Amino acid sequence: MEKYNFGLDEEMIKELSEEFAPRNFVKTLKLSQPHTIEDARASLEEYGRELARRSIEKGEKRIDRVYHVMKKAMEKTGEMKFPFILQRYLEIAYLSIQPFRRLRIVANSSKIISYRLNECSLYKAIEEEYGKEAANKMVCKSACFALIEEILSHFDFDIKPSLEASMADDRKCQFKIER
Amino acid sequence: MIPQIEIDKNKCATPYECKKCLQICPQAVFAVAPTKVERFKETAPEDYEVQAVFKDKCVLCMDCVKVCPTGAIKVKVGSS
Amino acid sequence: MCELCEKYGDNGGRWYLNPENYARPLYKKVEKGKEKEPMILTELQGPFYYKPLIELKDNPEAFEKMREGYSKFHETMGGQVVSLEDAKKMVEIAQPIARMDCICRRITRATLEDGEQRPRTCLGLGVGMFRWEEWPERYKGGVEFLSTEEAKEHIEHWHKRGMVITIMTFGTPYIGGICLCDYPDCLAIRMRLDYGIKPMLLKGHQVAKVNYEECTGCGTCVQRCQFGAIKMEVTTKKSNIDMTRCFGCGVCTYACPQDAISLIDREKLPGLKEEW
Ligand code: SF4
Ligand code: SF4
Ligand code: SF4
Ligand code: SF4
Ligand code: SF4
C-alpha cells in the first residue's frame, strides 16, 4: 500500500504561522489608547476572517490523506460536512497561530462542535504588549468569532457560535458551535 | 488440572490460512495473531502464530490433534 | 449507579450518550522523533496476553491476585452492553461510522469479514477511521463508511439475528467502536464470563424480565441468550430469566414471538442497581 501522509502539510502551517504571527499583529492594535478599542475590534475581526480565508484557500489545495478519505466518506454517506470540514479548518487555523500541538476537541458530533484552548498566544501577546487589564477585556474574542463565522459561512452553515468559558474568567476559552 | 497443549511452530507455518484447529475446537481454546505489524503493509502469512490460550476450557476431545494436517499439536492431561 | 456514568456522564446521563466521549482532533503537530507507536500489535495479539492468568486457573489465590491487575488494565480499554435503542442514539452522535472486520473473531476463529464472502459486523467510530490505511493489517479487507441510517440498520440487522451490542473504548472514556458480539468468539464477553474481568464488559442499563402471562413456553429465547441467563422451567412450562446473570442485551426480547420479554431499567430495581 502507498505510504500516505495523514498529517497536515507542514509547509502550509509554517506559511500561515508566519503570515499571522500573533505577536506582530498585536503590535498594530495600539490598545493602550482607550479610544482605539473599536478600531482594534475591527482589525481583530479582519485578522480572524483573513486567517480563516487563507486557511481554507491553502487547505483546499494541500490535501492530506485524512482530508482525502474524509471527502470520500462524505461523498458516500452524504454526511459529515458537519462537523469535520469545519473542524479541519479550525484545526489548521489554530495550529498555525497557537503554541499547542493539538486542538482540544470537546465534542464533534453531527450536531455539535466544541473545543477548548487552555492557553492562547493572541491573549498572551495582548497581555504582554498592553497589560493584563487590556487582555481581560477579551477584545480578542472578535478574532475567534470572526474566524469561526467565516469558516461557517464559507461552507454554507448558518449557525451562531458561542463562547462558553473565557480566558479572563476561567483561564481557558471554550467555544461551541451547535446546529 | 489445566491440560497441556503444545504447538510446534515449525510444523505450523501459516496458521491463519490453515485455521483447522481454530475452527474445529468445541471449546474455542486457540487464538491466532500476527507476530509483527508494520505501517502500510499486511502481515505475511508466515508471520502469524497460533497459540492455545483458553487451556482451562479444553476437554481433551483431541479433535484438534486429529484435524491438524501437519501433526503440530500435542495435547496432554495436565500435571501439577 | 453505573461507574462509567458517574465518572463520564453528562449531568447524570448515560456516559455513552455524552458527545465528549467521542471527541478527538483530526490532526496533531508531531515533534520529530517523538512519534508514539500505537499499540496495534498488542491489540491484535490480545488473547496471548491472558495466558499467564489462565495458567493460574488451578490456583485460586494467585489467580485472584493476577486478575486484579488485568481488571485494572481494562479500566482503560473495555466496554459495556447496550440496548438497540441506545445504540441507535449513539450512532446519531458518533461520526464517522465505518463498517469493518471483527478483530475478535479473526483472532479466535481465524475468520475474516471482508464484506464479500462474509458480511462485516463491527463498527469503528471516530476520526481514527480516516487513517485506517496506515494499518492495513488491523483493518484487513478495508473499511466502509456508513451514514447514520445505514449504521442503525446494520446494528438492528445483527441484533435481531442474535448478536449482543457492545461498546468498546480505546482509552476510556473515548468510545472507539460498537461491536456485535456472541460467545465464545467475542473476547470481551468471554473474559468477563469465564475469567471475571469486569471492566472489559459491564452489564447494560437494563435487565430482561419474562411476563409469565404471555409466555407460551416455546423455548426460542433460551437458545438466544449469549450469557446463559435463560432456562426453560419444565414444571411451569415457562422460560425463566436469572436477572442477576442477565446483561440486558435485549436479544431475547426480539427473539420472542409472543413479545413476552421486556427490558426494564436496572436502576429501578434496588437489588440490581449496583450490579454491573
Ligand atoms: S477568545 Fe480566547 S481563544 Fe480566542 S483569542 Fe481570545 S483568549 Fe484566545
Ligand atoms: S483437545 Fe479438544 S477441547 Fe482441547 S484444544 Fe483440542 S479440540 Fe479443543
Ligand atoms: S491445524 Fe495444525 S497446521 Fe493448522 S493451524 Fe492448527 S496447528 Fe497449525
Ligand atoms: S436474558 Fe435476554 S437480555 Fe438478558 S442477557 Fe440473556 S438474551 Fe440478553
Ligand atoms: S420466546 Fe417468549 S414465549 Fe417462547 S419461551 Fe421465551 S419468553 Fe416464552
Fold of B4-72: Alpha-Beta Plaits (3.30.70)
Residues C135 and C232 in one domain: no
Residues C195 and C219 in one domain: no
Residue ranges of the domains in chain B? 4-72
Query: A125-157: string of b/e by CB count within 10 Å (b at 16+)?
Result: bbbebbeeebbeebbbbbbbbbbbbbbbebeee
Domain region containing C109: 3-200
User: Which residues of B make CB contacts under 8 Å with A?
Assistant: 39-41
Query: Residue ranges of chain A with pLDDT lower than 70?
Result: 34-35
Residues C40 and C139 in one domain: yes
Residues C157 and C213 in one domain: no
Residue C21 falls inside a structural domain: yes
Q: Which residue of A has its CA nearest to C30?
A: A101
**Residue from C162, C165, C159, C164 nearest C178 by CA:** C165
Residue C220 falls inside a structural domain: yes
Residues C261 and C157 in one domain: no
Residues C89 and C156 in one domain: yes
Q: Determine the angle formed by the axes of helices A37-59 and A10-19, rounding to 10 degrees.
A: 160
CA distance C98 to C75: 25
Residues C169 and C126 in one domain: yes
Number of structural domains (chain C) is: 2
Residues C65 and C146 in one domain: yes
Residues C125 and C212 in one domain: no
Instruction: Give the mean model confidence (pLDDT) for residues C78-105.
Output: 96
Final residue belonging to a domain, choices C163, C180, C200: C200
Q: Is residue B7 within 6 Å of ligand 2 at its C-beta? A: no
Mean pLDDT, chain C, as a whole number? 94
CB distance A91–C131 less than 8 Å?
no
- State residue C41's pLDDT score: 92
Residue C154 falls inside a structural domain: yes
The SS3 of residue A145 is helix
For residue range C146-182, what is the model confidence (pLDDT) as tens digits?
A: 999 999 999 999 999 999 999 999 999 999 999 999 9
A48 burial (CB, 10 Å; 0-12 / 13-18 / 19+) is buried
Are A92 and C161 contacting, i.e. CB atoms less than 8 angstroms apart? no
Residue C276 falls inside a structural domain: no
**Residue from C215, C219, C270, C272 nearest C242 by CA:** C272
Residues C221 and C159 in one domain: no
Reported as a pLDDT band with limits 50, 70 and 90, residue B78 is: confident
Q: Any idea which of C32-36, C46-50, C113-117 has the lowest mean pLDDT?
A: C32-36
Fold of A10-178: Muramoyl-pentapeptide Carboxypeptidase; domain 2 (3.30.1380)
Residue C109 falls inside a structural domain: yes
CA distance C276 to C272: 8
- In this predicted structure, the answer to whether residue C201 has a pLDDT above a threshold of 90 is yes
Atom of ligand 1 nearest to the CA of A143: 5
- State residue A34's pLDDT score: 66
In this prediction the pTM is: 0.94
C191 burial (CB, 10 Å; 0-12 / 13-18 / 19+) is buried
Are C156 and C84 contacting, i.e. CB atoms less than 8 angstroms apart? yes
Residues C103 and C212 in one domain: no
Residues C118 and C18 in one domain: yes
